[in-house]
Amino acid sequence: MKKLKVGNKIPEFQAELAYNKWISSEDLKGNWTHLAFHRYAGCPICNLSIRQFQARIGEIQQAGIRHISIFHSPAEKMQKYYPVLPPFEIILDPMENLYKKFGVEGSLLGYLSPKSALNLAQSLTTDFKKGYDPDGTATTMPADFLVNPDGVIVECHYGEFIGDSWTVDDVIGKTAIRRNAVSLKSN
């Protein structure tokens, strides 16, 4: 799979949102958008990130950012772990088509990395209460993309271990920097 880079237009896509709604790459135009690729709905480490974004969605929206999380889980698994959806869009991609288009891959070394252990320890107290029922590829690494209103990737990050993804502060900060750069160019 070819990884995308800053300056690339996002690939064209149409995908299912949880539950029974659809979104396309065209729908992202006109917005600053953060696309966050996770593993599967039951991933305890991924759920740490989801809870952080959920808790701070007001700040994200106030900064003018559309946050979208992507999981390679089918709807029934999503409903098990998220009977009430977070206040942002979630794309369900059980065939991993978007993962392929965006060059999001797995890594056995990343999966086994000691750096993942800290995130796993933090998640053990809350996320295993619902049980651990993986679906999809366990070795999938996280990835983050900041897309400008023209559909161009202005920042991207391919995680090197489970939990190596942007924080809310990363997303807000990177968006502010890129937005300011655009303002300076137009002045």
- pLDDT tens, residue by residue, 118-141: 666 555 655 555 556 667 778 899
pLDDT (tens digit per residue) in 16-33: 998 778 999 999 999 999
What is the model's pLDDT at position 57? 96
Whether residue 6 is predicted with pLDDT greater than 90 in this model: the reply is yes
When pLDDT is cut at 50, 70 and 90, the band that residue 79 belongs to is confident
To which CATH superfamily is domain 28-172 assigned?
A: Glutaredoxin (3.40.30.10)
Q: What is the pLDDT of residue 186?
A: 59
Of 148 and 181, the structure prediction assigns the larger pLDDT to: 148
Nearest to 146 by CA among 182, 171, 164, 173: 171
% of the chain with per-residue pLDDT over 90? 59
C-alpha to C-alpha distance for 33 and 20, rounded to whole angstroms: 21
Average per-residue pLDDT for the chain: 88
In the prediction, which pLDDT does 133 show? 65
Relative to beta strand 14-17, strand 65-71 is unpaired
Q: Look at residue 99 in the predicted model and tell me its pLDDT.
A: 96
Rg, C-alpha atoms of the chain: 16
Q: What is the pLDDT of residue 127?
A: 52
